[in-house]
Chains A and B, each alone.
Chain A
Amino acid sequence: MQFGIFSVGDVTEDPTTGRMVSEGERIELMTKVALKAEEVGLDVFATGEHHNPPFVVSSPTTHLAYIAAKTEKLLLSTSTTLITTNDPVKIAEDYAFLQHLSGGRVDLMMGRGNTGPVYPWFGKDIRDGIKLAVENYHLLRKLWREPQVNWQGQFRTPLQGYTSTPAPLDGTPPFVWHGSIRSSEIAEQAAYYGDGFFHNHIFWNKEHTEAMVRLYRRRFEHYGHGAADQAYVGLGGQVFMASTEAEAKRVYRPYFDNAPVYGHGPSLEDYSEMTPLTVGTPEQVIERTLGFADYVGDYQRQLFLADHAGLPESLVLEQVEMLGTEVVPVLRQEFERRRPAHVPSDPPTHASLVAAGPDAPHHLVEPARARAEELAAAKVDA
């Protein structure tokens, strides 16, 4: 199972000191978080992507390439890559390039983005969000899998005889996750292609996460990629730790109360009740996190939010350290103890995808096409 950190890259004032870091300092902190993650034995660092203040994360592959050069084992990912407003041709090129630079230590998570004005800034319309995600991702799959692409869709200039360069490392496209909080269409999309499904799991209640993951798992099996409990599930999570629960709450409360997304709303206690937020001791975090598998099933990737809401560098790096040294070693052991043998521990990696060979379903644009047509025909006959 993979554990790691995902970052949204917000530049937020530290509410306890009034200090606002510069964009440069914020980028530097994200880099330090990634390096610390590798140092303490975490597996994944994922960066967000935004094109509006107060965020700095406009250029994920630039940043991930820099981190790749400074790390050995860390898997580099995104949370999320905007499949709606980015040109899929550029995504295909950038992330294949990153594969080459990092030795295949790349996967990525597709997301739509929810800030209305960003869409028109990139010539798109937020009301087309789902359609953009569907069309652009399908094109992305072709660009990574077909040597010459002829293509005409609704949202982009047609392509005739286009070859995306560089081709994916070892002719093997990166594994892809699809992230969505509430859109069933995105869970369906992940299931159709046999990709992973990631639920951010931070803003809403567990019953909702459970329902989204259940839908994805059911449809993954429907499309013939394996049994429902073998589908690739990733979750987010949000924790803050100290040696006692009281101390953790005392330190974290001002950051929670002023956080950009939920600040000035529900209390820390109410929010901890409503969502998976855990503020307490490492033991409490371990217990709560292990409970995630009780409602989404045995899963493959757990990412934690650590650097946000104006938390200063010292606290952020301390949290990453505690995750790596005190929390994750126990989680690894306990999650494997409960996992049935037929459920994969890790999601596909570059090594496992290469090992599966060029005839594996991963190399098809639509691995479930035949199965879907079969199902449709059976329905017509009946």
Chain B
Amino acid sequence: MTQHIVVVTAGLTVPSSTRLLADQIAEATSAQVSARGESVEMAYVELREVAAELATFMVTGGIPTPRLTALREQVAAADGLIAVTPVFNASFSGLFKMFFDALDPDGLTGTPVLIAATAGTARHSLVLDHAMRPLFAYLRAVVVPTGVFAATEDFGSHGLSDRITRAASELAAAVLSQGDYGVGGFAPDLAARPRRTSGTQVESDVTPFGDLLRGHSGTD
């Protein structure tokens, strides 16, 4: 079965070092998934292209613009996520945060995520653990242990590609081990599976009113 991984990148220039890093991570992840005998498709989301739609979404109380709706659905259906942001003023960029603010709170529940960031100096490296990791922890995503940070100078060092390979390997393993909620001989607890939703569709499996009323009819 083909695995679908979405690469969200918040670089602002063309070319962008953030996209460059995202490309390297995506390539390494593809190699790691392939090495495990599975196929993978990478879909890139350049947040710069939806910056205006994100602003509209924010100031209108969440009006669903067509392009943004498609992206929210794509992310909520992904088997894994690679999230790459430039560091601005000691944190992820505002554009990066806006996109994740626009997702349904259950859009990434249980989803393997690889976090990565670029910056002009290595002094920003804790952004991975002080800003990005808490964001994805809040969204109940599963962030792989290795995050990839690339200061400008790292693009000339082989340490970066080692970290990319390690992170890609962790992401590939996490993506491929999903959906395994049972141990041999035992029935899986399906109710305990993480529920994900894009939040873009009117629920087609509506809760029957009898269930909503239970405990609230005044007589039971």
Q: Which A residues lie at the B interface, using CB under 8 A? A: 130-131, 134-135, 138-139, 142, 151-154, 182, 184-185, 187-189, 191-192, 203-205, 208, 211-212, 214-215, 219, 223, 261-262, 264-266, 270-271, 274-275, 368, 372, 376
* B111 to A: closest C-beta gap in Å: 23
Q: Residues of B contacting A275 with CB < 8 Å?
A: 63
The answer to whether B202 and A153 have CB atoms under 8 Å apart is: no
Q: Residues of A contacting B204 with CB < 8 Å?
A: 215
Answer whether residue B56 sits at the interface, using C-beta atoms and an 8 A cutoff: yes
The residue on A at minimum CB distance from B217 is A138
The answer to whether B63 and A205 have CB atoms under 8 Å apart is: yes
Given the interface contacts A188-B208, A372-B210, does A154 sit within 8 Å of B60 by beta carbon?
A: no
The answer to whether B56 and A270 have CB atoms under 8 Å apart is: yes
Closest 10 interchain pairs by CB? Answer: A265-B59, A135-B216, A192-B209, A151-B218, A211-B202, A184-B203, A266-B56, A153-B218, A184-B206, A262-B60
Q: Residues of B contacting A265 with CB < 8 Å?
A: 55-56, 58-60
Given the interface contacts A215-B202, A274-B65, does A203 sit within 8 Å of B218 by beta carbon?
A: no
Given the interface contacts A188-B207, A203-B60, does A134 sit within 8 Å of B213 by beta carbon?
A: yes
The answer to whether B56 and A142 have CB atoms under 8 Å apart is: no
The answer to whether B64 and A208 have CB atoms under 8 Å apart is: yes
Compute how far the CA of A269 lies from the CA of B207 in the bound complex, rounded to whole angstroms: 38
Answer whether residue B13 sits at the interface, using C-beta atoms and an 8 A cutoff: no
Compute how far the CA of A189 lies from the CA of B64 in the bound complex, rounded to whole angstroms: 24
* A162 to B: closest C-beta gap in Å: 11
Number of interchain pairs (Cβ within 8 Å): 88
Q: Residues of B contacting A205 with CB < 8 Å?
A: 63-64
Answer whether residue B215 sits at the interface, using C-beta atoms and an 8 A cutoff: yes
Q: Residues of A contacting B59 with CB < 8 Å?
A: 262, 264-266
Compute how far the CA of A109 lies from the CA of B93 in the bound complex, rounded to whole angstroms: 43
Q: Residues of B contacting A139 with CB < 8 Å?
A: 218
The residue on A at minimum CB distance from B212 is A134
Q: What 1/0 flags go to B182-220 for Cβ under 8 Å of A?
A: 000000000000000000011110111110110111110
17 further A-B contacts with Cβ under 8 Å, apart from A184-B207, A189-B209, A261-B60, are A134-B216, A152-B218, A152-B219, A153-B216, A154-B216, A188-B207, A191-B209, A192-B209, A203-B63, A205-B64, A212-B202, A214-B202, A265-B58, A266-B59, A266-B63, A274-B65, A372-B208
Q: Residues of A contacting B201 with CB < 8 Å?
A: 211
Answer whether residue B61 sits at the interface, using C-beta atoms and an 8 A cutoff: yes
The residue on B at minimum CB distance from A264 is B59
Q: Residues of A contacting B60 with CB < 8 Å?
A: 203, 261-262, 265-266, 271
Looking at chain A's contact residues, the main secondary structure is helix
Give the one of A205, A212, A275 with max B CB within 10 A: A205
The answer to whether A204 and B202 have CB atoms under 8 Å apart is: no
Give the one of B60, B204, B207, B219 with max A CB within 10 A: B60
Give the one of B56, B63, B208, B218 with max A CB within 10 A: B218
The contact sample of 9 A-B pairs, CB cut-off 8 A, is A153-B218, A154-B216, A185-B207, A203-B60, A261-B61, A262-B60, A265-B59, A271-B60, A275-B63
Give the one of A139, A154, A265, A372 with max B CB within 10 A: A265
* A350 to B: closest C-beta gap in Å: 26
Q: Residues of B contacting A376 with CB < 8 Å?
A: 210
* B36 to A: closest C-beta gap in Å: 39
* B137 to A: closest C-beta gap in Å: 21
The answer to whether B206 and A188 have CB atoms under 8 Å apart is: yes
The answer to whether B206 and A185 have CB atoms under 8 Å apart is: yes
Q: Residues of B contacting A204 with CB < 8 Å?
A: 63-64
The residue on A at minimum CB distance from B55 is A265
Compute how far the CA of A376 lies from the CA of B210 in the bound complex, rounded to whole angstroms: 10
The answer to whether B65 and A142 have CB atoms under 8 Å apart is: no
Compute how far the CA of A368 lies from the CA of B210 in the bound complex, rounded to whole angstroms: 10
The residue on B at minimum CB distance from A375 is B208
Q: Residues of A contacting B209 with CB < 8 Å?
A: 188-189, 191-192, 223, 368, 372
Q: Residues of B contacting A215 with CB < 8 Å?
A: 202-204, 206
Given the interface contacts A203-B60, A265-B55, does A154 sit within 8 Å of B215 by beta carbon?
A: yes
Compute how far the CA of A153 lies from the CA of B63 in the bound complex, rounded to whole angstroms: 36
Compute how far the CA of A215 lies from the CA of B213 in the bound complex, rounded to whole angstroms: 18
The residue on A at minimum CB distance from B199 is A182
Q: Residues of B contacting A131 with CB < 8 Å?
A: 216
* B116 to A: closest C-beta gap in Å: 31
Q: Residues of A contacting B207 with CB < 8 Å?
A: 184-185, 188
Compute how far the CA of A368 lies from the CA of B208 in the bound complex, rounded to whole angstroms: 12
Given the interface contacts A153-B216, A215-B202, A270-B56, does A203 sit within 8 Å of B210 by beta carbon?
A: no
Q: Residues of B contacting A130 with CB < 8 Å?
A: 212
Compute how far the CA of A326 lies from the CA of B181 in the bound complex, rounded to whole angstroms: 64
Q: What 1/0 flags go to B62-74 for Cβ under 8 Å of A?
A: 0111000000000
